[in-house]
Amino acid sequence: MRGKGHRSGGRDEWGAPLAVRPPDAGAAVLRILDEVLDPELPIGLVELGLIRSVDVRGARVRVDLTFTATACPCMEFIRDDITERLGREPWVEDVELIEVWDPPWTADQITLAGREKLRQLGVTA
């Protein structure tokens, strides 16, 4: 399903919501969040190293995230996309976003898969 209409411009494609809460909800949230692309680069937030941790308790999902810079112009788009994407899941009732600045983000936090995607785009990390 295309993620049309959300404020990141619809460049990303979001999978269909899961019908029921998966047994490993934390791992599912990470997979779901990797569908959410950085608004400036077609790479998932998990691969980019922006998602620090997730905690799922009942129907509440807490996401600790960071940004590439404190003045990142895409912060609000990213927050909105995370909340919108997780909100599509019928087993998620509440999303809490916690911004974490320590340690600061560095390119070292990009996953190997993310680095490969960036290389294919002509971007080095």
Residues 25-120, CATH architecture: 2-Layer Sandwich (3.30)
Q: What is the pLDDT of residue 76?
A: 94
Q: Please, what sign has the CA dihedral across residues 35, 41, 43, 46?
A: negative
- Tell me what pLDDT residue 120 has: 92
Residue 59 has which token pair?
Answer: 């129907």
The pLDDT value recorded for residue 1 is 32
How many other CB atoms are there within 10 angstroms of residue 60's CB atom?
Answer: 12
For residues 72-91, one letter each, b for 16 or more C-beta atoms within 10 angstroms of the residue's C-beta and e for the rest, the string is: bebbebbbebbbbbbeebeb
Q: How far is the C-alpha of 100 from the C-alpha of 122, rounded, in Å?
A: 29
The pLDDT assigned to 12 comes to 53
pLDDT tens, per residue, the chain with 125 residues: 333 444 444 445 788 999 999 999 999 999 999 999 998 888 899 999 999 999 999 999 999 999 999 988 889 999 999 999 999 999 999 999 999 999 999 999 999 999 999 999 888 76
Neighbours of 50 (CB within 10 A): 25
C-alpha span between 47 and 16 (Å, rounded): 20
The whole model's pTM is what?
0.86
Give the per-residue pLDDT at 28: 97
At a CB cut-off of 8 Å and minimum separation 6, what does 17 contact?
Answer: 88, 89, 90
